[in-house]
Amino acid sequence: MVSLKQLNYAVAVDKERHFKRAAEMCSVSQSALSSAIAEMEHQLGVQLFERDNKRVLVTAIGEQILDKSREILAQVEELLQLPQQDQKPLSYPMTLGVIPTIGPYLLPQVLPEVRESYPDFQLSIVEEQSHRLVELVRKGELDAAIIALPYPVEGLEVREFWQEDFFLVSHQSEKIAEQSEINAEELQSLNLLLLKDGHCLKDHAMAACRLNIQPVNETLGHTSLYTLIQMVAGRMGTTLVPEMALSQLLSGSSELVAIHLNEPGPHRSVAMISRPNYAGRSNIEALSSLFSLQLQHRDN
């Protein structure tokens, strides 16, 4: 009979693609881990990994078995959490993912209140892009994740807690700096700087404009809003920023102005996603409610 320990070891090797690092991650000796996986392969009658002195590869049947192993381990974790459902919210540890265009701007506003209201709550944060977070939630490697919508999350439970618009950030020397509103048509004549492909913020900004605007300087591969803001400050163009990030990005800069994008909104929603059968649903509800209240208080 294959054991949960063997499943954990196999998943660790798949993640690290290295037996020594997987053993360290599981806090066992390399020989113990290797023996357990060899026994698992013998029990199943198939080879999970191809290994030599340089690398570890997963066999085709191994991929299928590892996918099922992750599902089983996630279900076991949820089973262990079931007795805690009757406890007060945020009374046991949670691992939460967040995308880079939300984390640096949301977390400073909400974590102090989380710590004050739930001093014993153990929260771990993982920052990744949306596609990776969705994958980790599905696999059970994250309890939940915060992403921006719209985004494909079929099969997952979604709890929206914030909606917001985009603002154009411009240097004060630009002619448009005197405006309080700007529409999508006016953006066509601007040097628009956006994040590189793969960031959902770029997709949301383009969708909010409802126009196929071609951003400039795409070859530079901008990877952060902070970098874009520095380029705007250097008079290299303009950029679109979600409302949540405005106060931090523009803090201390008297040369930059924010102009509301006057297109039908909200331009994006912020939500927490989790598996439908996740046992810590009360945690999701408590956190999303707290986040929503803190963001509302900021605007009041």
Secondary structure tally for the chain: helices H, strands E:
11, 12
Q: Given this model, what pLDDT does residue 205 score? A: 81
Q: Given this model, what pLDDT does residue 39 score? A: 92
For residues 177 and 252, state if they share a domain: yes
Domains held by the chain: number? 3
Q: Given this model, what pLDDT does residue 197 score? A: 61
Global pTM? 0.71
For residues 157 and 171, state if they share a domain: no
CATH number, residue 177: 3.40.190.10
48-74 confidence digits (pLDDT tens) = 999 877 788 999 999 999 999 988 888
Closest by CA to 149, choosing from 157, 140, 158, is 158
Query: Is residue 202 pLDDT above 90, yes or no?
Result: no
pLDDT mean over 156-172? 94
For residues 149 and 290, state if they share a domain: yes
On whether the CB atoms of residues 147 and 153 are closer than 8 A, the answer is: yes
- Quick check: bond before 266 cis, omega within 30? yes
Q: Which residue has the higher pLDDT, 85 or 204?
A: 204
User: Residue 13's beta-bridge partner residues?
Assistant: none
For residues 75 and 95, state if they share a domain: no
pLDDT mean over 77-97? 75
pLDDT-based confidence at 82, cuts 50/70/90?
A: low
Q: Given this model, what pLDDT does residue 120 score? A: 84
3-state secondary structure of 223: coil
169-188 confidence digits (pLDDT tens) = 999 998 888 899 999 888 88
Average pLDDT of the chain, as a whole number: 86
Q: Given this model, what pLDDT does residue 208 score? A: 80
For residues 61 and 99, state if they share a domain: no
Of the residues 30, 54, 82, the one at which a domain ends: 82
Q: Given this model, what pLDDT does residue 87 score? A: 62
On whether the CB atoms of residues 153 and 240 are closer than 8 A, the answer is: no
CATH number, residue 50: 1.10.10.10
Q: How far apart are CA 46 and CA 44, in angstroms?
A: 6
Least confident residue range of 157-166, 221-230, 247-256: 221-230
pLDDT mean over 245-265? 89
Integer angstrom CA distances of residue 128 from 57, 71, 195, 200, 289: 24, 21, 15, 12, 23
pLDDT mean over 282-300? 84
Q: Which domain holds residue 196?
A: 166-261
For residues 230 and 98, state if they share a domain: no
On whether the CB atoms of residues 81 and 280 are closer than 8 A, the answer is: yes
